[in-house]
Amino acid sequence: MKGSYLLTTLVIALMVFSCNQKTDEGYSMQKKVFGDYDGKEVVLITLKNSEGNTLKLTNYGATIVWIEVPDRDGNMENITFGYETLDEYTNGDPYFGSVVGRYANRIAKGKFILDDIEYNLAINNGMNTLHGGPGGWHSVVWDYEITDNEENIPSVIFRYHSPDMEEGYPGNMVIEVTYQWTDNNEIIIDYNCSTDKKTVLNITNHAYFNLKGAGNGDILDHEVTILASQFTPVDQDLIPFGENIAVEGTPFDFTQSHIVGERIEEDNEQLVLGGGYDHNFVLDNVEEVDAIVYEPKSGRMMEMITDQPGVQLYCGNFLDGTEAGHGGKVYEHRGGLCLETQHFPDSPNQSAFPSSVVEPGSPFKSRTVYRFSVK
């Protein structure tokens, strides 16, 4: 009896964890079935680094589902928004942790001209296109490869083929997004995208962070530093009107650390338009670290490093308390903040902005790092 019980348990365990590697180095990589979507299997992948900290990912949207790191007393907590079921992701979520493309952020009127050809995109944000359109890369099933590469870093490589004219964008694009989860508690994200036709690209990850723990209140008490001397002010549709403005003397000056709540309610036209911070910062790209988020009570700190020209600071202004994630915890208004590394919104229509054009034969390569520690 006991033997058959053990056998059944073993079989179930083998079915659930079709891959379970615990290595001599102390890290581990596992996957289990998360569900089915669009006729394809979706998995939940758990990477543990040698420090015992966890990163969970799914191939639906190449999404970060869970980041569990200690506070200064060693208490573990998940600090990013995510769901327990695939259905909640596929029912349309606010891009919790997902990769966003082919063009993250907004393209005015959902159109742009490239080499005299006008391309019309799927519209999903008033008159405009947001985050690649309704069928963007956050909502597709990616291929995946779980690997500890040559350096023994637990990693996942996600791959997707975006067909020519998908959501209206020209060119077949092959996209590779690699997440490495280092013993230094860094998520290193590498993007590698190539096309067979001239196209535009803006790819990012849309993780929401709350360093007190996802669902543990708002982020107004988080201290933020962004090394950006300028930002791109927006119109009523949150589309930049083409000018970079100095942050100095405005509530957008995060070159010295400020708590998010200090100025977010100020009577400032840009803050009113964004419902708070929802703006692209023009990174100075002078130091190794481009942005720091610190939460004094837990002592958790996140450093962000990127080679991209901009970062969208979004403070969950559109969240209204109707989303609940892991453990049924409610993600309230301003319950999380995003640092979406990017090219500037609407660049395909704004010649003064750094070009977001990708050409055949010159793949786009980019790296963003989120590093977690305590202080």
Residues binding ligand GLA (CB under 6 A):
94-95, 105, 130, 238, 278, 312, 314, 318, 338, 340
Find the distance separating the first CA and the last CA of the chain, reported in whole Å.
Answer: 53
Q: Which residues are catalytic?
A: 206, 340
Min dist CB 318 to ligand GLA, Å, is 5
Extract the tokens encoding 57.
Answer: 């990912």
Shortest Cβ contact with ligand GLA: which residue?
Answer: 314
Sheet order of strands, 310-314 included: 245-246, 230-232, 278-282, 310-314, 338-342
Query: Which run of H or E residues covers position 90?
Result: helix 86-90
By beta-carbon proximity to ligand GLA, the closer residue of 31 and 131 is 131
Min dist CB 369 to ligand GLA, Å, is 19
What is the C-alpha separation between 53 and 51, in angstroms, rounded?
A: 6
What is the C-alpha separation between 228 and 310, in angstroms, rounded?
A: 9
Whether residue 371 is preceded by a cis peptide bond, meaning omega within 30 degrees of 0, is no
By beta-carbon proximity to ligand GLA, the closer residue of 105 and 366 is 105
By beta-carbon proximity to ligand GLA, the closer residue of 191 and 314 is 314
By beta-carbon proximity to ligand GLA, the closer residue of 144 and 314 is 314
Q: 82 near 118, Cβ under 8 Å? A: no
By beta-carbon proximity to ligand GLA, the closer residue of 104 and 157 is 104
Extract the tokens encoding 371.
Answer: 């590093």
What is the C-alpha separation between 208 and 134, in angstroms, rounded?
A: 20
What is the C-alpha separation between 243 and 266, in angstroms, rounded?
A: 22
**Nearest to residue 119, comparing CAs of 348, 342, 347?**
348
Q: 264 near 315, Cβ under 8 Å? A: yes
Min dist CB 193 to ligand GLA, Å, is 20
Min dist CB 274 to ligand GLA, Å, is 8
Min dist CB 314 to ligand GLA, Å, is 3
Min dist CB 239 to ligand GLA, Å, is 11
> 115-123: long-range contacts at Cβ-Cβ below 8 A with a sequence spacing of 24 or more?
115/198, 117/170, 119/168, 119/169, 119/170, 120/168, 121/167, 121/168, 121/169, 122/167, 122/168
By beta-carbon proximity to ligand GLA, the closer residue of 123 and 374 is 123
Min dist CB 206 to ligand GLA, Å, is 6
**Nearest to residue 160, comparing CAs of 129, 119, 191, 121?**
191
